[in-house]
Amino acid sequence: MTRAERWTFRIWLFAVAGSLTATFLIPIVVLLMLLVVTMPVALLLMAMPTVCLYLSGALLFYVPLRLACGHTRRRRLAIAAVSVLPVSLAGIVISTLANRETQARADAIMAGDMGEEPLLPRVKSIALLVDRGLRDEKCWDECQRLLFSGLAKTVVQGSLDALDHPSAAPVPVIRHSIVPMEEGCDNSLLYATPASETEWKGKLPAPFLWEKLGDLAQRGLCFRSDRSRDARADVYLVRNYNFTEAESRKLYDLRLHPIEAFNRRTILLWKGQRLVPLMRRTELNFELLAVPLRIEPPFSFDTYTPGRWTRGAYEQRGTSPRYNTIMGHWIRNDVRVLGLTKSPHQEFVVEGTRGPARKKP
């Protein structure tokens, strides 16, 4: 073994040791990063996985060729050049081809987008569906505005699974409705949502949207929530975040196509016996790999990031809503809850009741 080969072997051993340190002793790397004097050491350790990757690849070519025919200095230099070249080219070619495929996949995800935010007629029911694991039983701002503005009499909230069998949803849904008082009232799932600036111009703090219950009570109406398997609705506002349950903590995520979970808004209407899309808008963020290919070790500070290929350019796809209304990302309708009064006589108890709505004393 020549002197150059011995030094190469030592550098490889140091790269392996540095990679193991950066991978399994993350707190030490973080501590070195926090100290100005030792920050260069931390940066050196974080570069070791890339050094180890390329040097190991080159040695896989060099060692057998060296043993077979590298008996002279000229041959050893030629073998070294031949060993480094394919590994270097592979780092460039792999990341370049992977980035092209990532962009092609992003184009395919965006390809089905169509339509624009519609102006909906008043309907009997509107469904708000979202990925399972993200759905909430409470009637939040969008739910309350759809009801209190009079655009719908019932708002169905549930998971995307309900679209498979709307009349018998596999997972129960919540039906929030404005009903006659004699049918019984239940305000327990109303969420305390303050009015927006376009709904309240008075002194802050603004009143809550549920103040509208006072006007409804004067007309003999109130709010009620029911659990059901009936997810049928006239209009479906479907939001798909591609949410998945948190995966177990892993050391390295070496996907070559790091496309983040996209956010898709779809409006579906009944046409005959089937649901057809009226609008579909997708917002997608993704990153391209750095060229040439490099690797980063896992890192943990306030959040944990698994080891991954170093990212290069960041791209965003998708269009923003065109309409400056409260629910402009969905519809053009004016769903402001107007006529709110900030008075203790208009505040309603939001405890669960199955009788007429009752005012606070």
The residue length of the chain stands at 361
Q: Which strands, in side-by-side order, build the sheet including 295-296?
A: 252-253, 307-309, 295-296
Give pLDDT, residue 359.
Answer: 41
Rounded Cα distance between 101 and 95, Å, is 10
Q: At what angle do helices 3-24 and 39-69 cross, to 10 degrees?
A: 140
Read off the pLDDT of residues 85-121 as tens digits, 9 standing for 90 and up. Answer: 999 999 999 999 999 999 999 999 999 899 989 999 9
The pLDDT, as a whole number, for residue 141 is 93
**Token reading at 45:** 């350790």
Q: pTM of whole model > 0.95?
A: no
Cis peptide before 118 (omega within 30 of 0): no
What is the pLDDT, as a whole number, of residue 245? 61
The Cα-based distances of 258 to 50, 78, 103, 297, 313 in angstroms read 18, 37, 10, 16, 12
Predicted local distance difference test score (pLDDT) of residue 246 = 57
Per-residue pLDDT tens digits of the chain, which is 361 residues long:
788 889 999 999 999 999 999 999 999 999 998 888 999 999 999 999 999 999 999 999 998 888 888 778 888 888 888 889 999 999 999 999 999 999 999 999 999 899 989 999 999 999 999 987 777 889 999 999 999 999 999 999 999 999 999 999 999 999 999 999 999 999 999 999 999 988 888 788 889 999 999 999 999 999 999 999 999 999 999 999 887 665 567 889 899 998 877 889 999 998 888 899 999 999 998 999 999 999 999 998 878 889 999 999 889 888 777 777 889 889 999 999 988 876 544 444 444 444 444 443 3
178: Cβ contacts below 8 Å, ≥ 6 apart? 147, 153, 154, 216, 221, 222, 223, 224
